[in-house]
Amino acid sequence: MEIPIEYYLLLSAFMFIVGVVGVLTRRNAIIVFMSIELMLNSANLTMVAYSSFLGNSVGQLFVFFVMTVAAAEAAIGLAIIIAMFRNKKTLNIDEINILKW
Amino acid sequence: MQEIYNLIPFVLISAGILVSLIFEMYAKNSKRIIAWFSVFIFLAAGFHSLVNVDNAQLFFNSMLQVGGNINIFIFLFNFAAALVVLMAMDYSSKYGNNFGEFYILLQSSVLGMMLMAGAKDLFVIFLGLEIMSVSFYALAGLNRMRLKANEASLKYFLLGSFATGFIVYGIALIFGSTNTTSIPQIVDKFGELTHNLLFMAGILMFLIGFSFKMAAFPFHMWVPDVYEGSATTVAGFFSTAGKTAAFSAVIITLGSVFMHGNANIFEPYLVVLAVTSMLYGSIVAIAQNNIKRMLAYSSIAHAGYLMIGLASGNYEGIAGIIFYLAAYTFMNLGAFGVVALIEGKDETNLTFESYTGLSKKQPFLAAMLAICMFSLAGIPPFAGFFGKYYIFIAAIKSDLTWLAIVGVISSVISIYFYLRVVVIMYFNETEIDLTVQKSNYGLLAVVISVILVIIIGIAPGSLIDLISSFLK
């Protein structure tokens, strides 16, 4: 039996919401970053589901672009986080507050 | 052959990045060489696109357009980047981000902006946006030893990639409900798609993501911190070229929807964002004591004025936005250039106290800053006034007179904090001495931007005619 597309969409919407809530509530920079990756991956799941549902391979192609970009972002983001940690010895966003939010 | 000729700006910048990387590895004294090399490629690409402005063509399976109003954007990005390089040459050693990579990152961010401006496909918008943003995160924190720069780049990175998440999810929903990522095809089907809930949710996500990049009100949290924490020249680049790029991408998507005679269904969203950003930016800027934070809040207010043009959704509005972006780029770069010249070692001299009596100590710099402030406040003989004028006229033409009135009220409020700088410089006396390091190239960049502000202010008609001739 084939699984209907609504299930995939609901799952990816749920993943996206988990990501957004994670960004807004977690205080550790690395966990915030992981939540952002979860948001990107929920978009990937939507793309793949639609791609197979519509029979249009553009969606799968887009997923490759998103994964490449996410890798580039991870490289630069982790570099920034390491630079921050070397200077400040903490990654808690609430303590990173020389500049007023 | 003719086709490749049109693509020269893209080829120049991409080849320039690779050549600069080789310079950085092997050449002695590489910083000066790369700096002048990037000024050269920026100017060459900028003027090439200006010469070929009436030669519009589609490339790469109709994924990228070059020519027409896109070339005006390409010129703006490249010219702004050239001015920033000039400002940064002496400033970088004062601030401590004097690396060859600074110029390479600047070049790659300009490449991303050019892709965003020319995109005819959601793929290309996404890729251009990410090339630009990733370079920006690195530019903000290039000086790894400074805690402020670390913090600015961390905040910029987290909120910027949060926005990217929204944009990607929006694109996924748009693709799912239209079965295509090509913008012209989506625009063709737009009328029937407005009843599709998933499509509307996708467009809304896409807009929310770009509102982050444009620094509009509920999504502005990163702006003051990033501008204060990163180097002044870099902050000037974020606020001018970065904002122009975000608006160019929105103009491509939403603008092409308006221009095919579709109703402006985004109006409520854009109106709310315009009103809140204008008023919030202008009112909070009054309370600032750091000039970079003041300019950051003013940039939020300017995002609000620009959104009026989008909300009005007609040709005049789009032409007004492009005009305003041109004017804003030069007046804001001028202001940031003067701030960068006056800033001392270790980020001193950034509060308003340092500007007291500047007209006695540095009469020329004070005059330049005063012209930029008058223009930002929208006082008639300068470019900023005509930008606001065209946008408010567009709002009145589409029956949004109340929005134009709110805009006028907000610019009246903003006169207070812009003119406070002028008053402090010209009418207050102080005993404190101010040592300003001489920087001829920085001064040259400021003078060029101020001259352009005055020229656009004297002859606004010819520029707006040029812009609107390419929109039709």
Tens of each residue's pLDDT in chain B, 472 residues: 667 788 899 999 999 999 999 988 888 888 888 999 999 999 999 999 888 888 888 888 888 888 888 889 999 999 999 999 999 988 888 887 788 889 999 999 999 999 999 999 998 999 999 999 999 999 998 888 888 899 999 999 999 999 999 999 999 999 999 888 888 888 888 878 878 888 889 999 999 999 999 988 888 889 999 999 999 999 999 999 999 999 999 988 887 777 776 667 788 888 999 999 999 999 999 988 899 999 999 999 999 999 998 888 888 888 999 999 999 999 999 999 999 998 888 778 888 888 888 888 888 999 999 999 999 998 888 888 999 999 999 999 988 899 999 999 999 999 999 999 899 888 888 777 777 788 889 899 999 999 999 999 888 888 888 888 877 6
Nearest C-alpha neighbor of B123 from the set B64, B73, B190, B208: B64
Q: Which of B252, B159, B242, B175 is nearest to B208 (CA)?
A: B159
Confidence at residue A76, expressed as pLDDT on a 0 to 100 scale:
93
Residue from B130, B150, B180, B346 to probe the interface with A (highest A Cβ count within 10 Å): B150
- Ramachandran quadrant class, B245 (left: phi over 0; alpha: psi -120 to 50; beta: rest): alpha
B contact set with A (CB within 8 A): 123, 126-127, 130, 134, 137-138, 141, 144-145, 147-148, 150-155, 157-158, 161-162, 164-166, 168-169, 171-173, 175-176, 179-181, 221, 224-225, 228-229
Q: Residue B313 in contact with residue B258, Cβ under 8 Å? A: yes
B346: left (phi > 0), else alpha (psi -120 to 50), else beta? left
The model's pLDDT over A14-41, given as tens digits with 9 standing for 90+, comes to 999 999 999 999 989 999 999 999 999 9
Q: What is the ipTM of this complex?
A: 0.95
For residue B231, give the nearest of B313, B165, B312, B150 by alpha carbon: B150
Q: Kindly give, in sequence order, each residue whose CB lies less than 8 Å from that of residue B389, ignoring residues fewer than 6 positions away.
A: none
- Count of other CB atoms within 10 angstroms of residue B34: 26
Instruction: State whether residue A31 sits within 8 Å of chain B by CB.
Output: no
Which CA distances in Å does A94 have to A28, A97, A101, B74, B462? 9, 7, 10, 39, 51
| Nearest one of B61, B68, B62, B64 to B7, comparing CA atoms | B64
Q: Give the number of beta-carbon pairs within 8 Å between A and B.
A: 126
Domains of chain B, residue spans: 265-472
* 3-state SS class at B66: strand
Spatial contact of B264 and B187, defined as CB atoms under 8 Å apart: no
| Alpha carbon distance B284, B228 (integer Å) | 15
Q: What is the dihedral of CA B381, B334, B129, B315, to 10 degrees?
A: 10
Q: Which domains does chain A have, with CATH numbers?
A: 5-90 (1.10.287.3510)
Please return the burial class of B136, using the count of CB atoms within 10 Å of its CB with bins 0-12, 13-18 and 19+: buried
Name the helix (H) or strand (E) containing B363: helix B363-377
Q: Are residues B169 and A99, on separate chains, in Cβ contact within 8 Å?
A: no
Q: What is the pLDDT of residue B266?
A: 81
Q: Residues for chain B: how many in total?
A: 472
Rounded Cα distance between B179 and B170, Å, is 14
Q: Residue A14: how many CA atoms within 13 Å on its side-chain side?
A: 6
d(CA B210, CA B436): 38
Q: What is the pTM of this model?
A: 0.93
Taking the Cβ of residue A99 and every Cβ of chain B, the question of whether any pair is shorter than 8 Å is answered with yes
The pLDDT assigned to B361 comes to: 85
In this model, does residue A101 exceed pLDDT 60? no
Going by pLDDT thresholds of 50, 70 and 90, the confidence category of residue A68 is very high
What is the DSSP track for B106-124? HHHHHHHHHHHHHBSBHHH
Identify which of B387, B429, B427 has the alpha carbon closest to the alpha carbon of residue B411.
B387
- Enumerate the residues of chain B whose CB falls inside 8 A of the CB of residue A46: 169, 172-173, 176
